[in-house]
Amino acid sequence: MKILFSFLPKLEQQTALIESFPAIQFNFQKPLDVDALKTADVLVTYGEDLQASHIETATNLKWIMVASAGLEKMPLNEIAHRGIVVTNVRGIHKIPMAESILGHILSIKKSLSVIADNQRKGEWTNRIQSSELFGSTALLIGPGAIGGEVGRILQAFGVQTIGCNRSGKISDDMNEMISFEELKDVLPKADIVISILPSTEQTKGLLTYEHFQCMKRTAIFMNFGRGDVVKEDELLRALQEECISFAVLDVFEKEPLGAGHPFWAMKNVIVSPHVSSHSSQYVVRALEIFSNNLTKWLNGNIELDNLIDVKRGY
Amino acid sequence: MKILFSFLPKLEQQTALIESFPAIQFNFQKPLDVDALKTADVLVTYGEDLQASHIETATNLKWIMVASAGLEKMPLNEIAHRGIVVTNVRGIHKIPMAESILGHILSIKKSLSVIADNQRKGEWTNRIQSSELFGSTALLIGPGAIGGEVGRILQAFGVQTIGCNRSGKISDDMNEMISFEELKDVLPKADIVISILPSTEQTKGLLTYEHFQCMKRTAIFMNFGRGDVVKEDELLRALQEECISFAVLDVFEKEPLGAGHPFWAMKNVIVSPHVSSHSSQYVVRALEIFSNNLTKWLNGNIELDNLIDVKRGY
């Protein structure tokens, strides 16, 4: 059995895999070795290097392990057609992302950037606008693993959490759940609105000017899912009109964000260059998920963790 | 019965008190009305305006309600001598302070100030140093109400919490407790060291250069208690020598921090001008505590909340 990587774990991580699975022929290459893929049984990839044409010639390929959460750059139709199993590392982002999201919220609530500005000026002033997270209400749109973790921690801060997904089915760490249809009714209640939605046919352009108009003028909007879920020019307009007080954006319609984009210079926007999921523990955790699944796979257990419904795309 | 305030709650808050306690003669004055104090039974004060000489002439005074946590500016000897009951608003700071402390920690861990600098320059770069709070160890020196709240939330982030106080007696929301004597043994384990100690004879100058030398070079030190607990010139030396990676200081030996002080310009110091406890909910919560205690007092119940041991000073 041949397993091809299209990225390079650290040498000791490679060795650990080889030692744990002696029967397997590992091939660590970067970038994707298209020739080696032709005979590989399993591909481990970040999910950005795979073309439809590669799937055609990868006649042995049975399982693609994507060491990432977003699958929008994958040739999903071709993969579905061939019946190739796909798993990802859903959940791997939840710790660093929840920490990033909470960091941004608290930094805004406690005016940490104003404190930093005053320090730069050598100015001691205790006239700092400071509001509390405690007792506020957060709306989490798309509460999967990440949203659940954010919700759990927000609850520890005394925040009421409302989750919103397609079904409205109850989810962990949410005090309340609503469906997409109820979004506009609930937006006026939320002090913080966080989108953690993936990019799918259903979510593209979901959040429009009308939605921002429904929000409190004091609301903080955060996009930590995918940029194209928000109609960016409509968000820009809402911010310029001060429909909401703040936007913290980790994702954008086009990344990197263009040099001349108004967001860069806006006082009520934080441009976070898609770094909220960064973690020194990333590959460690990805390989842990992979090793567990590989053990299952070798034992003939097809109930892998983080199995993707390839047709739905998540 | 006469109750004198030496600060002015909002008019509706005054009215609410008068309506709740119709038998009582309230007198709201700012600053402290020394004449009115002579006949007052109860004084409600922020605790910074009371002189020993005032106590002498306040012959009816039986209870001082301090709407603050620190009592170091109070003439405690004279108060103790007269047997006047003192209560404070211990616990009132715990929510805003825990939020401030967590905000600073996450902001450092996620390099939010670097992200802000890059935004100012219009620079998209994902080379952001980012570390995780999850899995780290925090040492909380002086875990009372505030430390307990910080500990509880840190635990929700997956942080191991070690509390340190005089007795080493077990405290809520701490995984482990140590006494002051064990401090130097435990400091090398901590990723974050937070002092929330009050200023007392026992705590003054407690933290010295030696202590900072014991810490990890990656450690973050935070002082959110009282400035004189730390020998500031020794902390300065430790920071200059990079014994630790960061200091976040909300309190200082002398406040405001002097204009020429090196802390202002240091990259590894955050100067927070004693604002971490600020909250729009402050007076609301203080009056809540006061009203509860006043009801007890009128019912002859002397077990007031937040009763101070005047001789110990906390």
pLDDT tens profile A182-202? 999 999 999 999 999 989 898
Contact assessment for residue A59 and residue A79, using Cβ atoms and an 8 Å cutoff: no
B chain contacts of residue A110, beta-carbon cutoff 8 Å: 99-100, 103, 276
Please name the residue of chain A whose CA is at the shortest distance from the CA of residue B252: A124
The full DSSP string for A98-131 is: HHHHHHHHHHHHTTHHHHHHHHHTT---------
Contact assessment for residue A96 and residue B130, using Cβ atoms and an 8 Å cutoff: yes
* Distance, CA of A223 to CA of A125 (rounded, Å): 32
Domain boundaries, chain A: 2-91+280-298, 94-271
DSSP state of A307: B
Partner residue facing A110 (CB), from B103, B115, B152 = B103
A chain contacts of residue B279, beta-carbon cutoff 8 Å: 130, 132
Q: Is the pLDDT of residue A167 over 90?
A: no
Q: What is the mean pLDDT of residues B118-138?
A: 95
Partner residue facing B264 (CB), from A119, A134, A152 = A119
Question: What integer pLDDT is reported at residue A166 of this predicted model?
Answer: 82
Min distance A70 CA to chain B CA atoms (Å): 18
Average pLDDT over chain B, rounded to an integer? 95
Tell me the backbone φ, ψ of residue B176, rounded to 5 degrees. -155, 150
Q: What is the mean pLDDT of residues A86-91?
A: 92
Question: What integer pLDDT is reported at residue B307 of this predicted model?
Answer: 94
List CB contacts of B113: < 8 A, sequence separation 6 or more.
A113, A116, B107
State the count of interchain CB pairs (< 8 A) between A and B. Answer: 134
List CB contacts of B96: < 8 A, sequence separation 6 or more.
A130, A132, B276, B277, B278, B279, B281, B282
Hunting for tokens 């966080």 — which residue is that? Answer: A194
B chain contacts of residue A259, beta-carbon cutoff 8 Å: 122
pLDDT band, residue A280 (cuts 50/70/90): confident
CB contact under 8 A, A124 and B152: no
Provide the phi-psi class of A158: left if phi over 0, else alpha when psi is between -120 and 50, else beta. Answer: left
Q: Which fold has domain B2-91+280-298?
A: Rossmann fold (3.40.50)
Taking only the tens place, the pLDDT of each residue in A10-54 is 999 999 999 999 999 999 999 999 999 999 999 999 999 999 999
pLDDT band, residue A171 (cuts 50/70/90): confident
* Distance, CA of B3 to CA of B44 (rounded, Å): 7
CB contact under 8 A, A157 and B126: no
Taking only the tens place, the pLDDT of each residue in B93-107 is 999 999 999 999 999
A chain contacts of residue B132, beta-carbon cutoff 8 Å: 95-96, 99, 279-281
Please name the residue of chain A whose CA is at the shortest distance from the CA of residue B128: A275
Domain A94-271 CATH assignment equals 3.30.2290.10: no
* Dihedral angle sign, alpha carbons of residues A142, A148, A150, A155: positive
Question: What integer pLDDT is reported at residue B3 of this predicted model?
Answer: 98
Min distance A181 CA to chain B CA atoms (Å): 32
pLDDT band, residue B185 (cuts 50/70/90): very high
| A2-91+280-298 and A94-271, same CATH topology | yes
Cα angle B45, B46, B51; round to 5: 70
Alpha helices in B188-267 (DSSP H): 209-214, 232-240
Question: What integer pLDDT is reported at residue B167 of this predicted model?
Answer: 77
> Coil, strand, or helix at residue B27?
strand
CB contact under 8 A, B119 and A274: no
Question: What integer pLDDT is reported at residue B188 of this predicted model?
Answer: 98
Partner residue facing A275 (CB), from B107, B128, B270 = B128
Q: How many CB atoms sit inside 10 A of residue A56's CB?
A: 12
Min distance A93 CA to chain B CA atoms (Å): 12
The full DSSP string for A2-39 is: EEEESS---HHHHHHHHHH-TTSEEEE-SS--HHHHTT
A chain contacts of residue B158, beta-carbon cutoff 8 Å: 95
CB contact under 8 A, B153 and A157: yes
Q: Which of B285, B281, B301 is nearest to B293 (CA)?
A: B301
